[in-house]
A and B are shown apart, each in its own frame.
Chain A
Amino acid sequence: MSNQAKVKICSVGKYIPEKILTNEDLTEWLDTSDEWISSRTGIKQRHISTTENTSDLGTKAAENALANSGVDVSEIGLIIVATMSPDSQSPSVACKVQANIQAINAIAFDLNAACSGFVYASSVAEKMLSVSSYRYALVIGAEVMSKVVNWSDRSTAVLFGDGAGAMLLERNDHTQSFINEDIHADGSRGSALTSGESSVQNPLTPEKETDAHLKMSGRDIFDFVVRSVPKSINDVVEKSQLQLEDVDYFLLHQANARLIKAVSKKLKQPLDKFPQNIQHYGNTSAASIPILLEELIENGDIQLGNNQTIVLTGFGGGLAWGSLLIKL
């Protein structure tokens, strides 16, 4: 093992399935309305996969990140996929992506921290890469949430969408993108958001029905986010010996535009420092932050190598939440 090196973000990529469901489309089978959904969530539409599974989305996002970098896939030593909607328990989505992109030298595994998955996975990948012998790591957030939501529950079905984002990291001697982190979990409040419940079922157990659909307690999650997210952001900025004013952008998990507004208000930071794309994609769980990052780089708001200060903050099921302060 070599000495601890620096880790920088080289490139990002995204992939969004083509099919769009507007709020209006949902009213065909749900008692809801565009006005209700957009005023309470900011969501106007979401992309829904019709045939592609999580590994397909993750693979295409990874291919886009790689195409943007010019890196030889054989130099990738690690692939982590953050997901709560894998194709299967085994093989992992990460192993499928590894096969699809032919990254034959990479170890690969999935990480589930629900909507905080990308923040968790980036933190893990950065640490593994910094002490490794390989040069590149891929961190992917990929979700087909349309598989796990209950399409007859209007309080949750309207919120989620499918998509994937990927980020390529490079071990190097000069540039450290990851400045500080503040990451937490509180399993004691885990029942506020559950999904994919799998109870004990074998010839020895009495039959019981399990509802594996995603279920959420809106107020508990709201309280959690409004209290924990501003604190996490404050803490990661303080640890970095910076002020909130020094941060160019706060990239929050895109769960709800009203939540983002509440966090911006609590931090007394202007809302335009909290970029949003939730109106187009809904809540894509672990994929939301890398998709947003890709779009900000694509449209030039964030320029790699320009030394901008960015905070990435994920929050959701677990409960798990956390912030990364990065320099790009």
Chain B
Amino acid sequence: MSTFETIQEIIVDQLDKEKEEVQLNTNFREELEADSLDLFQIINDIEDEFDIKIETEEGLNTVQDIVKYVDEQLA
């Protein structure tokens, strides 16, 4: 599974959304109505899944932002 697909699955599960609603350019807060606790939970799951540490949620607005962050950490 690609980084995007794994992250997509986590977001779908945490926010109770359909896969189609979670695309690379989707904005968490505006389009998925995620609040800070939702983001903490998504980040927490991503950290566990990829065994990385995401220091701050600031600047992470879209799915693409997180995919990029994770890929950089894994590189």
A-side residues, CB < 8 A to B, are: 39-40, 218-219, 222-223, 226-227, 256, 258, 262
Q: How long is the Cα–Cα vector from A222 to B40 in the complex, in angstroms? A: 7
Q: How long is the Cα–Cα vector from A284 to B57 in the complex, in angstroms? A: 29
B6 within 8 A of A: no
What are 21 A-to-B residue pairs whose CB atoms are below 8 Å?
Answer: A39-B35, A40-B35, A40-B36, A40-B37, A218-B36, A219-B36, A219-B40, A222-B37, A222-B40, A222-B41, A222-B44, A223-B40, A223-B44, A226-B40, A226-B41, A226-B44, A227-B44, A227-B48, A256-B37, A258-B37, A262-B41
B-side residues, CB < 8 A to A, are: 35-37, 40-41, 44, 48, 57
Q: How long is the Cα–Cα vector from A223 to B43 in the complex, in angstroms? A: 9
The chain B residue sitting closest to A227, CB to CB, is B44
Shortest distance from the beta carbon of B53 to any chain A beta carbon, whole Å: 10
Q: How long is the Cα–Cα vector from A40 to B41 in the complex, in angstroms? A: 13
* 8 residue pairs, one from A and one from B, having the closest CB atoms: A222-B40, A258-B37, A219-B40, A226-B44, A223-B44, A40-B37, A262-B41, A40-B35
Is the Cβ of B44 less than 8 Å from the Cβ of A218? no
The chain B residue sitting closest to A39, CB to CB, is B35
Is the Cβ of A219 less than 8 Å from the Cβ of B35? no
The chain B residue sitting closest to A258, CB to CB, is B37
Q: How long is the Cα–Cα vector from A40 to B37 in the complex, in angstroms? A: 7
Q: How long is the Cα–Cα vector from A227 to B48 in the complex, in angstroms? A: 9
Q: How long is the Cα–Cα vector from A218 to B43 in the complex, in angstroms? A: 14
With a cutoff of 8 Å between Cβ atoms, the chain A residues found around residue B35 in the complex are 39-40
**Given A40-B36, A222-B37: 13 more A-B contacts, CB < 8 Å:** A40-B35, A218-B36, A218-B40, A219-B36, A219-B40, A222-B40, A222-B44, A226-B40, A226-B44, A227-B48, A256-B37, A258-B37, A262-B41
Q: How long is the Cα–Cα vector from A218 to B56 in the complex, in angstroms? A: 12
Q: How long is the Cα–Cα vector from A258 to B39 in the complex, in angstroms? A: 12
The chain B residue sitting closest to A222, CB to CB, is B40
With a cutoff of 8 Å between Cβ atoms, the chain B residues found around residue A256 in the complex are 37
Q: How long is the Cα–Cα vector from A39 to B37 in the complex, in angstroms? A: 10
Shortest distance from the beta carbon of B65 to any chain A beta carbon, whole Å: 17
Q: How long is the Cα–Cα vector from A227 to B45 in the complex, in angstroms? A: 10
Q: How long is the Cα–Cα vector from A223 to B47 in the complex, in angstroms? A: 10
With a cutoff of 8 Å between Cβ atoms, the chain B residues found around residue A40 in the complex are 35-37
The chain B residue sitting closest to A223, CB to CB, is B44
Q: How long is the Cα–Cα vector from A262 to B38 in the complex, in angstroms? A: 10
Q: How long is the Cα–Cα vector from A39 to B48 in the complex, in angstroms? A: 26
The chain A residue sitting closest to B35, CB to CB, is A40
With a cutoff of 8 Å between Cβ atoms, the chain B residues found around residue A222 in the complex are 37, 40-41, 44
With a cutoff of 8 Å between Cβ atoms, the chain B residues found around residue A39 in the complex are 35
With a cutoff of 8 Å between Cβ atoms, the chain A residues found around residue B40 in the complex are 218-219, 222-223, 226
Q: How long is the Cα–Cα vector from A222 to B57 in the complex, in angstroms? A: 13
Shortest distance from the beta carbon of A217 to any chain B beta carbon, whole Å: 11
With a cutoff of 8 Å between Cβ atoms, the chain B residues found around residue A262 in the complex are 41
With a cutoff of 8 Å between Cβ atoms, the chain A residues found around residue B44 in the complex are 222-223, 226-227
With a cutoff of 8 Å between Cβ atoms, the chain B residues found around residue A226 in the complex are 40-41, 44
Q: How long is the Cα–Cα vector from A262 to B45 in the complex, in angstroms? A: 11
Residue of A219, A227, A256, A262 with most partner-chain B CB within 10 A: A219
Residue of A218, A256, A262 with most partner-chain B CB within 10 A: A262
Shortest distance from the beta carbon of A35 to any chain B beta carbon, whole Å: 11
With a cutoff of 8 Å between Cβ atoms, the chain A residues found around residue B48 in the complex are 227
Q: How long is the Cα–Cα vector from A326 to B57 in the complex, in angstroms? A: 39
The chain B residue sitting closest to A256, CB to CB, is B37
The chain B residue sitting closest to A220, CB to CB, is B40
